[in-house]
Each structure stands twice: as structure tokens, then as C-alpha cells.
């Protein structure tokens, strides 16, 4: 049997994160995060900690139904940084602050994220930072 590399551990962690997202398993997602996770919102501020991430997921679940497809995950040799590219297939369910009114509009949008990973005291690799990116102008044009 071959040994799992640091790169494989990292890509598995990020794939597990997105698999939990696609299942709507918010607890499963947050279990993969460090307690002090830094979350960089697309074209927005940095939020820190699992509680802030949970609040973000609650806002997302209220306003959007999304599934990520064609997920590609890459990681460095040390397994401490990773990146993902994907296509978001979504539906805008309820108004989100500062954005156009929701009427059940559907959208398809490429997106990506960058990750910093860290081995925790319990030996598990977890996500210490996730920075999300997509073209907000494209999204707005699709839901208008």
C-alpha cells in the first residue's frame, strides 16, 4: 500500500468540504474548519471563527440554493495551501442585503476559492482560511 501524501490529504479535505456543501451538511462543513477559521467573503470583509462561518451559512441557506459542479482541487506539495475551481448552479430564493430582489432566479457562474490548511493539536488537518471568488457583476446580470 502506498502512503498518502500531504498533497492528497489536502485535496481530500477540500473535496470533503465541497461534498458537505453539496449535501447541505453545514455541520459537516464546519467540522472541517479550525476554530479560528478566517473566511474571506467574495468582494467583502474577512470574518473570523466558526460562529461567524455558521452565521454565513445560515444567510446562504435562507437566500440561495446552490450546487457546485465540475469541482477541481489543487494543492501544494506541503499540503498546506489548496485551491478549487468550480461552477455554481444556483437559485436565488430570498432577498439578500444590498442585492437585487429575489424571485427564484436561476444562475450558473464560475467560481473559485483559496485555502490555507493547518494540522490541529488532535493531528487532523483542517481549513484555517477560505477565500471565495466569483464575478459578482455576472451574477447580478443573471438575476436582474
Q: Sign of dihedral through CA atoms 108, 110, 114, 120?
A: positive
Pairing state between β 125-134 and 33-40: parallel
Cα–Cα distance measured from residue 92 to residue 31, given in angstroms and rounded to the nearest whole number: 26
pTM across the whole model? 0.93
Domains (range + CATH), the chain: 6-143 (3.10.450.50)
Cα–Cα distance measured from residue 73 to residue 71, given in angstroms and rounded to the nearest whole number: 7
Task: Give the model confidence (pLDDT) of 58-79 as tens digits.
Answer: 999 999 999 999 999 999 999 9
Q: Give the count of beta carbons closer than 10 Å to the beta carbon of residue 44.
A: 12
Of 76, 68, 78, 54, residue with least CA distance to 15:
68
Task: Give the model confidence (pLDDT) of 19-66 as tens digits.
Answer: 999 999 999 999 999 999 999 998 888 999 999 999 999 999 999 999
Q: Note the pLDDT of residue 43.
A: 84
Amino acid at each position: 500500500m502506498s502512503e498518502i501524501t500531504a498533497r492528497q490529504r489536502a485535496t481530500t479535505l477540500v473535496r470533503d468540504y465541497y461534498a458537505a456543501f453539496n449535501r447541505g451538511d453545514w455541520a459537516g462543513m464546519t467540522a472541517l474548519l479550525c476554530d479560528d477559521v478566517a473566511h474571506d467573503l467574495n468582494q467583502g470583509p474577512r470574518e473570523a471563527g466558526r460562529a461567524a462561518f455558521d452565521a454565513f451559512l445560515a444567510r446562504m441557506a435562507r437566500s440561495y440554493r446552490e450546487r457546485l459542479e465540475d469541482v477541481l482541487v489543487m494543492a501544494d506539495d506541503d499540503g498546506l495551501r489548496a485551491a478549487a475551481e468550480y461552477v455554481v448552479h444556483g437559485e436565488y430564493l430570498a432577498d439578500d442585503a444590498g442585492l437585487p430582489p429575489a424571485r427564484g432566479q436561476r444562475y450558473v457562474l464560475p467560481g473559485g476559492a483559496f485555502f490555507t490548511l493547518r494540522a490541529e493539536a488532535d493531528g487532523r488537518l483542517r481549513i484555517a482560511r477560505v477565500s471565495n471568488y466569483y464575478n459578482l457583476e455576472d451574477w447580478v446580470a443573471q438575476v436582474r
